[in-house]
Amino acid sequence: MAVPLIGVSKPILKIRELIENVANTCLTVLITGETGVGKEVVAQSLYTESARASNNFVKINCAALPETLLESELYGFEKGAFTDAHRKRQGKFQAANKGVLFLDEIGDMPLALQSKMLHVLQSGEFSPLGSDQELKTDVWVIAATNHNLEEAVTNKIFREDLFYRLNIINIDIPPLRDRKEDIPVLIKHFHNSYQLEYPESKGCLPTLSELATLCDYPWPGNVRQLQNSVSKQMVFNSWGQIIEELSCDEIEKTNNPIDEELEGDIPFAGNGENGWDQILSQYIDMSASEENLFEKISLKKIKKQAADRAEKEIISYTLSKIGWNKSQAAKILKISYKSLLLKTKEFEILQPTSEW
């Protein structure tokens, strides 16, 4: 299903404006952004808005093919050019003549092919494999990458001259977590599209509380992940199940247990004067004789007990601060929803009766 450039956030509005200004210039465009943000959608929008829309939009993924195959796909080949070349074949540059060639994942193009790409971009001329004949092509090249090409240039894995030739116009698409106001609009768009595609589906739009949770989710897979979640909801007809799966799939990114949303120190037995004496006294009988004392000390055991107690206090404190919303607590603590449930069970953390 083709996805139009949907959104109401300032970055998306600026990108739409840039597309209108660039569409008929045919200046080389480099689209950057994380995986799943919609780089191909922007490329398609540029193509649709241009005078080249009546000709071909040809895409090639530079990361999906080995070096030798990528070269033959781009430039074509003559019969007998290599072992399996049983017939002449047209390349993508020829197929996209008068139209658009979209070079997806350009940052993964092998260094050996980059010089030939630079030559084609500068001259519009190339030779198919196995041919001495120079062919002329008129294509508008739009490239995309999720890599930092400036860093790749510094590390000498991407040619500096090719980078500057591609980066005449740069369109950077921010991740979905930085434009949360687009999430409700995208959900509604995908929902309506899937309803048309699958009229028998019983899928529904999320409630306001479910939508708030979805807007707070970081969406590491960006718009693509959101679209997949909507399609899955059309089958399950339960946003609660989708939200629970998203929470369980969220990867722990840091060992810091409390998010910036919870400012200040956490009340913990080790805080304050003589705090460690208070903690150690719970695990070691300091009044015991020296001989018995060293028999009872096990640093490994103490470490485990102290860590468990710290986890229990932090989880309890977090839950109490946010009204015992476990999905939100998992997000703040940067653990999966499933991990939180297991820990509340292990530590016997129960919501006070008065708060039910």
CATH code (residue 199): 1.10.8.60
Q: Give pLDDT, residue 272.
A: 46
Pair 45, 134 in one domain: yes
Q: Give pLDDT, residue 97.
A: 95
Q: Is residue 162, in this structure, part of any structural domain at all?
A: yes
What range defines the domain where residue 168 resides?
10-174
Pair 94, 141 in one domain: yes
Q: Is 128 exposed, middle or buried (0-12, 13-18, 19+ CB in 10 A)?
A: buried
Helix (H) or strand (E) holding 144: strand 140-145
Buried b or exposed e, range 204-222, using 16+ CB within 10 angstroms: eebeeebeebbbebbbbbb
Q: Give pLDDT, residue 251.
A: 47
Q: Is residue 2, in this structure, part of any structural domain at all?
A: no
Pair 104, 211 in one domain: no
Pair 97, 190 in one domain: no
Domain of residue 99, CATH code: 3.40.50.300
Pair 147, 283 in one domain: no
Pair 79, 162 in one domain: yes
Per-block mean pLDDT, blocks of 10 residues, the chain (356 long): 78 96 94 95 96 96 90 86 75 95 95 94 90 90 95 92 96 96 94 87 88 93 94 88 83 43 49 48 51 55 76 86 78 78 84 51
- Write down which residue in 200, 215, 249 finishes a domain: 249
Pair 91, 106 in one domain: yes
- Write down which residue in 174, 194, 217 finishes a domain: 174
Pair 74, 97 in one domain: yes
Pair 151, 208 in one domain: no
Pair 71, 189 in one domain: no
- The closest of 46, 77, 45, 43 to 60, measured between CA atoms, is 43
Taking CB atoms within 8 Å and a gap of at least 24, the contacts of 176-180 are 176/37, 176/219, 176/222, 176/223, 176/226, 177/218, 177/219, 178/11, 179/7, 179/9, 179/10, 179/11, 179/12, 180/215, 180/216
How far apart, in whole angstroms, are the C-alpha atoms of residue 249 and residue 244? Answer: 9
Q: Give pLDDT, residue 79.
A: 78
Q: Is residue 257, in this structure, part of any structural domain at all?
A: no
Q: Is residue 267, in this structure, part of any structural domain at all?
A: no
Buried b or exposed e, range 115-124, using 16+ CB within 10 angstroms: eebbebbeee
- The closest of 193, 130, 141, 196 to 167, measured between CA atoms, is 141
Q: Is residue 1, in this structure, part of any structural domain at all?
A: no
Q: Is residue 3, in this structure, part of any structural domain at all?
A: no
Q: Is residue 317, in this structure, part of any structural domain at all?
A: yes
Count of domains in the chain?
3
Q: Is residue 258, in this structure, part of any structural domain at all?
A: no
Q: Give pLDDT, residue 274.
A: 47
Pair 192, 235 in one domain: yes
Pair 57, 159 in one domain: yes
Q: Is 294 exposed, middle or buried (0-12, 13-18, 19+ CB in 10 A)?
A: exposed
Q: Give pLDDT, residue 211.
A: 93
Domain of residue 335, CATH code: 1.10.10
- Write down which residue in 174, 201, 227 finishes a domain: 174
